[in-house]
Amino acid sequence: MAERIKVLIHAIKDQALNIKTYELVSPDGEPLPLFTPGAHIDFFLPDNLIRQYSLSNSADERNRYVVGIQKEEQGRGGSCLIHDQFKIGDEIEISAPRNNFKLDETAQRYKLIAGGIGITPIMSMARRLKSIGKPFQLYYACRNEQRAAFIEELRSTELSKHVVLSYDDVHGPLNTLALFGRPEPNVQIYCCGPTGLMDAVKSATNPWSEGSVRFEHFSVSEDIGPKDDDGSFEVIIQSTGRVLKIPKDKSILSVLEENGIFIDHACCEGICGTCETGLIDGEADHRDMILTEAEKQENKQIMVCCSRAKTSTLTLDL
């Protein structure tokens, strides 16, 4: 499993309806590991729960991490536990930051699109773009004003000229086709939000070249889970030649573990990238939301927590 870092909860702030930010510092005042805009950390919670939360603060800060967490009453329990039980002064365990949503700083201009709690990694990107002087526009869509996080900062003189706030109850849904439907040269789009918004942005940006539009998922799309017609297949461990059968109702990750081969993992849903493993031979049935379409076509990596096989065997670089 990933290395654990002990941190103290230094501050908790109500940001919006059911959204709080948690400021984490190291207990001994030492600098925290570096991160880049778009990165997330794992929270190691009681009962072996592991949850991922994006960092919202400036990546230039070494003394703290700030994460935004929305309480999901219908979720799997992690966010409710944090909202209900975590207090200032508590010591908790987290992972070092990882980034599946990296900001490419070579573009000339940027469009950042956030929905609801998806503003968290986008805030870190906006701070970075501001500090390096790159032009950007941030579109932030929420159901209503009460659900808009970081609103004081977004309205500040520093950021307000870059920000378009869109509340469904006032403005209706964001007109993604009108705003993002026409490809623009040297522009990058970054989007994080609920599935409905991301699907609308995906569809509107269809004419854009693949590398110019990037998404960060924090919930699982329905079509990546187990399917009724999933079959069994075999994996070959490259270093030993060992062959393991993956039955239709088990993941590669769980069969590897049963056989004493332990792979770092966290979300087990194809959204964090922790379990990424080299693929030497065979064609994967990629079910994750981390790899780009081009990377999936290349078939060089596989998320073993959720992906399966299109061929009868897969050879893993283990």
CB of residue 310 vs ligand FES: minimum separation in angstroms?
A: 19
CB of residue 300 vs ligand FES: minimum separation in angstroms?
A: 16
> 259-318: which residues touch ligand FES (CB under 6 A)?
265-268, 270-275, 288, 303, 305
| Strand order from edge to edge, sheet including 187-192 | 163-167, 136-142, 109-115, 187-192, 213-216
Q: Whole-angstrom Cα distance, residue 177 to residue 200?
A: 8
Considering beta carbons, is residue 126 or 271 the nearer one to ligand FES? 271
State yes or no: residue 94 binds ligand FES (CB under 6 A).
no
Two structure tokens written together for 294? 């081009």
CB of residue 271 vs ligand FES: minimum separation in angstroms?
A: 6
State yes or no: residue 121 binds ligand FES (CB under 6 A).
no
State yes or no: residue 224 binds ligand FES (CB under 6 A).
no
State yes or no: residue 20 binds ligand FES (CB under 6 A).
no
Is 210 exposed, middle or buried (CB count within 10 Å of its CB: 0-12, 13-18, 19+)?
exposed
CB of residue 225 vs ligand FES: minimum separation in angstroms?
A: 13
CB distance 132 to 105 below 8 Å:
yes
Considering beta carbons, is residue 148 or 267 the nearer one to ligand FES? 267
Two structure tokens written together for 88? 């200032």
3-state SS of the chain: helix, strand, coil percent to 5? 25, 30, 45
Number of residues forming the site for ligand FES (CB under 6 A): 13
Considering beta carbons, is residue 201 or 290 the nearer one to ligand FES? 290
CB of residue 309 vs ligand FES: minimum separation in angstroms?
A: 16
Considering beta carbons, is residue 127 or 286 the nearer one to ligand FES? 286
DSSP 3-46: PPEEEEEEEEEEEETTEEEEEEE-TT-PPPPP--TT-EEEEE-G
CB distance 35 to 49 below 8 Å:
no
CB of residue 89 vs ligand FES: minimum separation in angstroms?
A: 30
Quickly count: other Cβ atoms within 10 Å of residue 216's Cβ: 23
State yes or no: residue 256 binds ligand FES (CB under 6 A).
no
Binding site for ligand FES (CB under 6 A): 265-268, 270-275, 288, 303, 305
